[in-house]
Structure 1
Amino acid sequence: MSFLIYFIIIMIVPIAIQMYLKKTYKKHLQISTSSNMTGAEAARKVLDENGLYNVSIEPVKGQLSDHYDPRDKTVRLSEDNYYGSSIASVSVATHEVGHAIQDAEDYAFLRFRHALVPVANIGSNLSFFFILGGLLFQFTGMMLLGIIFFAAAVLFQVITLPVEFNASSRALNVMVSSGVIRNDEESGAKKVLNAAALTYVAATVIAVMELLRFVLAFIGMNNDD
């Protein structure tokens, strides 16, 4: 029974949240803003109001492929959000601008996350090989190394949460103050941003659960010895 519950959490919950995000996003993609600004226009307005004239905005293929690239100071928006003037479009666009503002302000959690990227990538790519090898061959040292690698990836996930929540909070504030949306449109924008945030929360919870499972397996190996 416990295994079934664990399976439901790590497999069904993320799928359900992704479905909820797509449904919420699609719904608000059909609702136009009172300002009729496109996502690109809203992003440019907020960037300029914060003095970030050097940050460019580009369309990118794919749905919800939006992101901010700190390496070349570019906000990349999926075409629906770049050209669209919906609640969903401006919400996602200003969220990514929130990351650009974080970068300009040297936001501590963002800096920490950037510093963790190389370690997290190594952890994600190598941890399971060491953990699986440790379990198969009963090598506790290999198992422990895998857990350390995986813990680095989990830490990256944990640090991502305040970064994303802060960017969404900034987006909600600037959308109203900059005239991108009216006060009565804020609830729709909040629903879009909260749905997106749930995906990060779910990923973090699952990563922590996996780490705990590996730690318990490691303790069990040592007790067997």
Structure 2
Amino acid sequence: MAFILIGILVIAMVFGPSWWAKLTFKRYSKPEERIPGTGGELAQHLLNRFEMHDVTVEKTDKPGTDHYDPESRTVRLSPEYFDQKSLTAVAIAAHEVGHAIQHFRNEKKLNWRTKLVKFAQGAQQIGAGAMMLIPVLMAITKAPQSGALFFLFGIISMGSATLVHLITLPVEFDASFGKALPILKSGEYIEKEDEPAVEKILRAAALTYVAASLASLLNIWRWLALLRRR
């Protein structure tokens, strides 16, 4: 019973922030004629304004795939934000350009996060591999200690993704509130009455990384449940 309750709690923690962020984005995604341009147009305008001529703007193929790619120097926006004139569209566009500004200014926290994310991705794959080998290893060696060692290694490796996302959360908040919000306010890209809504959207954009970090906990839970059945 306790195992089931823990599972329910983990699932609530994982999907809660993600659900709230999606709800916030949807609430303010209604097209508004008073907004002077689409998310894609705003992103390109801001890149020109800050003279980041080596950064491009692209429209992705799928919803919810907005991000800044530091390797190709590309701001990628999903179709609903690239093409729409909504508060969510301009806020998300400004948030991703905020990451481009961090990169352009060679801010250490973004460079640090990029390296950590790559490390976490590799560690998570190694951890999953270690989990898969546990039944095989125990069947061959007949030694529970070897399985326990691989289990511990797998948990630590997969848990590194959670730690990385939480550690680098300040990078997301800086993109939202250190870059995007001041730019939107000072450039009069949004109305004064829209500022509270934009702040909510930018907070949700930053917290999507919390949802990602908690999602990695769900992966650990799935492995625990699988191994418990064996």
Superposition TM-score tier, normalisation by shorter sequence: 0.7 to 0.9
Aligned partner of 2:226 in structure 1 is: none
Q: Distance in 2 between matches of 1:61 and 1:210?
A: 26
Report which stretch shifted further, 52-61 or 2-11: 2-11
For residues 31 and 132 of structure 1, do their structure 2 counterparts lie closer, same or farther at Cα, with a shift above 3 Å needed?
same
Superposed CA offset, 1:150-176 (max 9, x none): 343333222331121111111111111
**Which residue identity lines up with residue 99 of structure 2 in the other structure?**
H
TM-score (normalizing by structure 2):
0.80
1:201 pairs with 2:203: no
Superposed CA offset, 1:115-145 (max 9, x none): 2243222211120332464588331442343
Report which stretch shifted further, 3-12 or 80-89: 3-12
1:154 pairs with 2:157: no
Aligned partner of 1:173 in structure 2 is: 182
Q: Which runs of 5+ in 1 are unaligned?
A: 215-225
Q: Distance in 1 between matches of 2:219 and 2:79?
A: 35
CA contact (8 A) 1:14 1:199 kept: no
CA contact (8 A) 1:124 1:150 kept: yes
Aligned partner of 1:64 in structure 2 is: 64
Q: Distance in 1 between matches of 2:48 and 2:9?
A: 43
Q: CA deviation at 1:193?
A: 2.0
Q: Distance in 2 between matches of 1:85 and 1:209?
A: 35
**Which residue identity lines up with residue 3 of structure 1 in the other structure?**
F
Q: Which runs of 5+ in 2 are unaligned?
A: 139-143, 224-230
Aligned partner of 1:219 in structure 2 is: none
Count the aligned residue pairs.
213
CA contact (8 A) 2:162 2:214 kept: no
CA contact (8 A) 1:133 1:143 kept: no
Identical aligned residues as a percent: 33
